[in-house]
Amino acid sequence: MQIEIKNISKKFKRKNVLRDITLSVGEGKCIGILGANGCGKSTLLSILAGVQHADGGSFVCDGVDLLKDARKRAELVGYVPQGTPLISELSAWDNLILWYDKDTAKQELENGVLHLLGIGDFLKVTVSKMSGGMKKRLSIGCAMAKKPPILLLDEPTAALDIACKQHIAEYLQHYKRSGGILLLTTHDVMELSLCDAWYIIRDGVLCPFQFDGDVAKLVECL
């Protein structure tokens, strides 16, 4: 499987936030998208997820433009935004069964994605009482309900402690090994190490970036 993102453009009023963004990604690969706050990283992922409309361009997988086929997009793409797409008054379990049938959720908690994410440790906790790491792991678990081969993550471990970052990173490594395609926006060095290639959005343009572990060099480029 390979995805082809071609000429994605988006303008807000007179500002070109995204200019002809073009990128291809094969299975088992992770792409890191960097850039200063407000550069368009989150806008790009939300367009690919179908939350916002592009002014132009396509997002093609298996010959289908996922920007035009909502059913196929829902089947193939999982999306975890920066915010928490959970119902705060409900427990982890009650949120899960909005996405999974009960039998599948129990199976996944026993030996599947929900087990790998450690969600069984806080099933009865309401979202309003969860730590940031719990919320993020639960959000990823909900996004994986249909086992999508493409996962879009908007700064998945921002503001989390080291243990939570490591837990999520281990799951994402597993997802890659199983052939999944990852696109993530990040400023986090641990997440950058997951990536096979890196790009920076600057003035609406997507540019390749070679990250060699030099954080000072990265900051200079943002």
* Predicted local confidence at residue 221, as pLDDT: 61
* Per-residue confidence band for 193, with pLDDT thresholds at 50, 70 and 90: confident
* Predicted local confidence at residue 194, as pLDDT: 87
Instruction: State pLDDT tens for residues 112-139.
Output: 999 999 999 999 999 999 999 999 999 9
Q: Is residue 36 part of a domain?
A: yes
> CA–CA separation, 74 vs 212, rounded Å?
35
* Per-residue confidence band for 36, with pLDDT thresholds at 50, 70 and 90: confident
* Predicted local confidence at residue 71, as pLDDT: 95
Q: Report phi then psi at 219, rounded to 5.
A: -60, -40
Q: Is residue 17 part of a domain?
A: yes
Name the average pLDDT for the chain: 91
* Predicted local confidence at residue 214, as pLDDT: 67
CB-based contacts of 141-145 (< 8 A; 24+ apart in sequence): 141/96, 141/108, 141/113, 141/114, 141/117, 142/85, 142/86, 142/95, 142/96, 142/98, 142/99, 143/78, 143/79, 143/80, 144/78, 144/113, 145/99, 145/100, 145/104
Whether residue 5 has pLDDT greater than 80 = yes
Q: What is the mean pLDDT of residues 176-182?
A: 96
* Predicted local confidence at residue 213, as pLDDT: 67
**Pairing between strand 197-202 and 181-185?**
unpaired
Q: What is the mean pLDDT of residues 161-168?
A: 85
- C-beta separation of 45 from 79 below 8 A: yes
Q: Is residue 135 part of a domain?
A: no
**Pairing between strand 150-154 and 181-185?**
parallel
Q: Is residue 89 part of a domain?
A: no
* Predicted local confidence at residue 159, as pLDDT: 74
Is pTM beyond 0.85? Reply is yes
Q: Is residue 56 part of a domain?
A: yes
Length of the chain: 222
Query: Which CATH number is 208's domain given?
Result: 3.40.50.300
Instruction: State pLDDT tens for residues 52-108.
Output: 999 999 999 999 999 999 999 999 999 999 888 899 999 999 999 999 999 999 999
Whether residue 204 has pLDDT greater than 80 = yes
Residue ranges making up the domain that contains 55: 2-84+148-221
- C-beta separation of 46 from 52 below 8 A: yes
Whether residue 209 has pLDDT greater than 90 = no
* Predicted local confidence at residue 215, as pLDDT: 60
Whether residue 10 has pLDDT greater than 80 = yes
Q: Is residue 164 part of a domain?
A: yes
Q: Is residue 177 part of a domain?
A: yes
Beta-bridge mates of residue 64: 61
- C-beta separation of 26 from 1 below 8 A: yes
> CA–CA separation, 128 vs 134, rounded Å?
11
Percentage of residues of the chain with pLDDT beyond 90: 75
Domain count, the chain: 1
* Predicted local confidence at residue 220, as pLDDT: 63
DSSP 54: -
DSSP string for 90-132: SBHHHHHTTTS-HHHHHHHHHHSHHHHTTGGGGTTSBGGG--H
Q: Is residue 49 part of a domain?
A: yes
- C-beta separation of 145 from 175 below 8 A: no
Measured CA to CA in angstroms, residue 65 lies from 1, 41, 45, 48, 166 at distances of: 14, 20, 15, 10, 34
